[in-house]
């Protein structure tokens, strides 16, 4: 499916979402409440079937946190980007999609570890790289207190 | 730390059937500092829980403070065996964002270097795979051939592993006058040496007993876990970025995507061996046809990307490598995400190893071809 066709299908399926052509891929922004339902539909609808989540990124924006999902359909070979923003920046939380794509379970752990975004209903939300009690280094206001190399 | 203490406290449970063993972080078969918390019942593996972060270096955070050409030098240090591909991903991402088309000469050289890197990486994987199974000889055979590729890299750009040969807009230097001859000589040499690999290990009875039917990963699981590269293709997951979203000179060459539907450790082994033959063929198609021209475009001293989000996928030696740049129009990126293949591949290990013996866990992990800095970043 080409990007234009994909936009048509997605617009029909998700009337509430904001859908636009990005620099390369079709980008769809949804509200945080509808994320989980959207994820299930994206994967299970036969004509789009986005079954391969190849990248999950957390971004610290000035007012809130964003999570960006890069999805591909192995059958149809089209790619799209799903975007969502949390309501709060200090104590952000969002529904997990790890029950839809298993790989999200570990990517979400990484996002939780580095950005402190809490994923609701995640079965194993622990730190992945850093110790408990460490700050969230990818946040823009992170202060590196244990600076090993002094400038 | 708390978990380590927990395990020590729990040692009195050794009297019961189930017990937990820490494999790593210094276990030789983890090829780095990876700790697997393995739950065992006798020799049988019940659960494998990877613990990462021993060499987490915060590359993504560092990227936010440096300029785009500098990021390339950090990506070398992640997956040091496919350094050139990671470099290329960043360079391509920046070029796409700036809407620059590099000269054909650059594309050809990049692709040749890609495939040489893939050869070197698969050779090293083959060495250590044999060694993990207890066949030390493979190590000498593989390294003998890999050294010669590293010599070519050294002559081309001065570095043997962390090449940093790419730069946004082209390459750091032009190829050495000897490059084409040396690569051709090497391919001629390696065509006679690759059958030795099969003779030495592929047909070996012990090796086949230890790999056939071991570490099953179904196609659905491979897609769900995002297992890419040779490991994914051995489960029949058609995930070769070179085929599906071709970049550099891949549109100009003919090659096969190696797929296998047996899904076991042996399949992952054979996919890599066959990929080496494909790499040889790709280089042979390109090496005599490198077009004349500039090896780099003239770029501005300070690169500023337009506001927006840019993603670039490439096929590294262990799977799909992705660079995602969020730019706010300044000379530093706002956020860089590096999607490393090893990260996604590692977490499928539990599904593959469950129910097998602990010695099989070593074989399975070896065919996933994990590079720890690639996982920890």
Percent of chain B with pLDDT over 90: 35
- Please answer yes or no on whether B238 and A68 come within 8 Å at the CB atom: no
Residue A16, SS3 per DSSP = coil
pLDDT interval class at B7 (50, 70, 90): low
- Does residue B35 belong to the interface with chain A, where contact is any CB pair within 8 Å? no
Q: Note the maximum CA span of chain B.
A: 72
Identify the pLDDT of residue B11: 56
Q: Do A54 and B313 touch (CB under 8 A)?
A: yes
| CB-nearest partner of A130 from B56, B225, B343 | B56
Residues 43-82 of B with CB under 8 A from A: 52-53, 56, 58, 60-61
> Could you name the CATH architecture of A3-89?
2-Layer Sandwich (3.30)
Cβ separation A103–B224 shorter than 8 A = yes
ipTM of the complex: 0.91
Strands A93-95 and A118-120: parallel
CA angle A144, A149, A150 (to 5 degrees): 85
Cβ contact B122:B129 at 8 Å: no
- Average pLDDT over all residues of chain B: 88
Domains in chain B with CATH codes: 2-51 (no CATH), 59-376 (1.10.645.10)
Whether residues B52 and A22 touch (CB distance < 8 A) is answered with no
Residue B209's pLDDT is: 87
Residue B113's pLDDT is what? 92
A116 token code pair? 């402190």
CB A30 within 8 A of CB A10: no
- The answer to whether B217 touches B263, Cβ cutoff 8 Å, is yes
> How many CA atoms lie within 13 Å of A4's alpha carbon, on the beta-carbon side?
0
DSSP symbol at B290: P
**pTM for the full model?**
0.89
pLDDT surpasses 70 at B97: yes
Would an 8 Å CB–CB cutoff place A105 in contact with chain B? Answer: yes
Do the chains contact at B61 and A55, CB–CB below 8 Å? no
Residue range B48-78, pLDDT digits in tens:
999 988 888 889 888 888 889 989 998 988 8
**pLDDT value at residue B4:** 56
Weakest-pLDDT range from B24-33, B93-102, B167-176, B299-308: B24-33
pLDDT computed for residue B294 by the predictor: 87
* Residue B108: per-residue pLDDT: 92
B29, pLDDT greater than 90? no
User: CA A102, B366, B125 angle in degrees (round to 5)?
Assistant: 120
Report pLDDT for B2: 57
Residue in chain A nearest B339 by alpha carbon: A55
The arithmetic mean of pLDDT across residues B199-220, rounded, is 88
What does the pLDDT look like over B174-193, one tens digit per residue? 888 889 999 999 999 999 99
Nearest residue of A to residue B239, measured between CA atoms? A74
Select the residue of A70, A74, A132 nearest B311 (Cβ to Cβ).
A70
Q: Band the pLDDT of B88: cuts 50, 70, 90.
A: very high
Question: Is there a contact between A55 and B337 if contact means CB atoms under 8 Å apart?
Answer: yes
User: Could you say which residues from 53 to 72 on chain A have a Cβ atom under 8 Å away from some Cβ of chain B?
Assistant: 53-55, 57, 59-60, 68, 70
Residues of A in contact with B343 (CB under 8 A): 106-107, 110
Whether residue B30 is predicted with pLDDT greater than 80 in this model: the reply is no
In the block, tokens 């019940």 appear at B46
- Nearest Cα residue to B266 out of B123, B366, B118, B190: B366
DSSP character at residue B212: T
In the structure encoding, which two tokens stand for residue B341, read together?
């293949």
Tens-binned pLDDT, residue by residue, of chain A (151 aa): 788 888 888 888 888 888 888 888 899 999 988 899 999 988 888 888 898 999 999 999 988 899 999 999 988 888 999 999 998 888 899 999 989 999 999 999 999 999 989 998 888 888 888 888 888 888 888 887 766 555 5
Reported confidence tier of residue B135, pLDDT bands at 50, 70, 90: confident
Chain B partners within 8 Å of A151 (Cβ):
none
Residue B340 CA to residue B336 CA, distance in Å, equals 12
Tell me whether B155 touches chain A (CB under 8 Å): no
For residue range B212-254, list pLDDT tens digits in order: 888 889 999 999 999 999 999 999 999 889 988 898 889 999 9
Vertex B265, ends B21 and B350: CA angle to 5°?
35
Confidence of residue B133 (pLDDT cuts 50, 70, 90): confident
How confident is the model at residue A6, as a pLDDT?
84
Q: Which residues 345-364 of B are in CB contact (within 8 Å) with A? A: 347
What residue of A is the nearest CA neighbor of B59? A138
By CB atoms closer than 10 A (0-12, 13-18, 19+), residue B314 is buried
């Amino acid at each position: 499916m080409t990007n234009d066709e994909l936009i048509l299908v997605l617009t029909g399926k998700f009337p509430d979402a904001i859908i636009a052509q990005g620099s390369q891929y079709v980008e769809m922004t949804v509200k945080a409440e509808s994320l989980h339902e959207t994820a299930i539909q994206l994967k299970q609808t036969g004509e789009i079937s986005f079954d391969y989540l190849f990248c999950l990124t957390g971004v610290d924006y000035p007012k809130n946190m964003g999570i960006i999902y890069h999805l591909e359909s192995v059958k149809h070979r089209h790619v799209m980007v799903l975007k969502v923003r949390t309501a709060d920046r200090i104590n952000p939380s969002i529904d997990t999609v790890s029950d839809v794509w298993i790989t999200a379970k570990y990517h979400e752990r990484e996002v939780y570890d580095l950005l402190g975004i809490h994923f609701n209903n995640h079965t194993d939300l622990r730190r992945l790289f850093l110790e408990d009690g460490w700050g969230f280094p990818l946040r823009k206001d992170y202060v590196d207190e244990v600076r090993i190399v002094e400038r | 730390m708390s978990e380590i203490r927990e395990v020590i406290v729990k040692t009195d449970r050794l009297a019961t059937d189930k017990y937990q063993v820490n494999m790593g972080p210094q276990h030789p078969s983890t090829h780095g500092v990876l700790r697997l918390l393995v739950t065992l019942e006798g020799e049988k593996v019940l659960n494998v829980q990877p613990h990462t972060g021993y060499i987490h270096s915060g590359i993504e955070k560092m990227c936010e403070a440096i300029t785009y050409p500098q990021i390339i030098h950090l990506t070398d240090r992640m997956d040091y065996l496919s350094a050139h591909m990671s470099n290329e991903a960043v360079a391509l991402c920046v070029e796409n964002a700036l809407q620059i088309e590099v000269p054909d000469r650059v594309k050809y050289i990049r692709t040749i270097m890609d495939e040489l890197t893939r050869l070197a990486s698969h050779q090293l994987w083959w060495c250590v795979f044999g060694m993990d199974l207890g066949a030390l000889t493979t190590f000498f055979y593989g390294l003998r051939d890999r050294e010669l590729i590293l010599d070519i890299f050294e002559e081309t750009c001065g570095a043997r592993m962390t090449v940093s040969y790419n730069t946004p807009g082209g390459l750091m230097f032009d190829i050495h006058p000897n490059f084409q001859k040396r690569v051709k000589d090497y391919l001629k040499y390696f065509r006679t040496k690759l059958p030795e690999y099969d003779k030495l290990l592929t047909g070996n009875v012990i090796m086949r007993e230890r790999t056939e039917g071991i570490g099953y990963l179904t196609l659905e699981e491979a897609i769900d876990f995002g297992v890419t590269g040779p490991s994914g293709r051995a489960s029949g997951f058609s995930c070769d970025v070179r085929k599906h979203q071709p970049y550099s000179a891949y549109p100009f060459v003919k090659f096969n995507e190696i797929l296998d539907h047996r899904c076991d450790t042996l399949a992952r082994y054979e996919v890599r061996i066959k990929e080496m033959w494909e790499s040889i063929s790709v280089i042979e198609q390109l090496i005599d046809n490198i077009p004349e021209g500039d090896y780099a475009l003239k770029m501005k001293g300070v690169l500023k990307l337009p506001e927006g989000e840019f993603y670039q996928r490439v096929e590294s030696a262990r799977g799909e490598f992705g660079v995602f740049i969020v730019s706010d129009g300044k000379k530093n990126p706002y956020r860089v995400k590096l999607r490393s293949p090893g990260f996604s591949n590692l977490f499928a290990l539990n599904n593959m190893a469950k129910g097998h013996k602990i010695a099989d866990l070593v074989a399975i992990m070896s065919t996933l071809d994990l590079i720890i800095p690639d996982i920890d970043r």
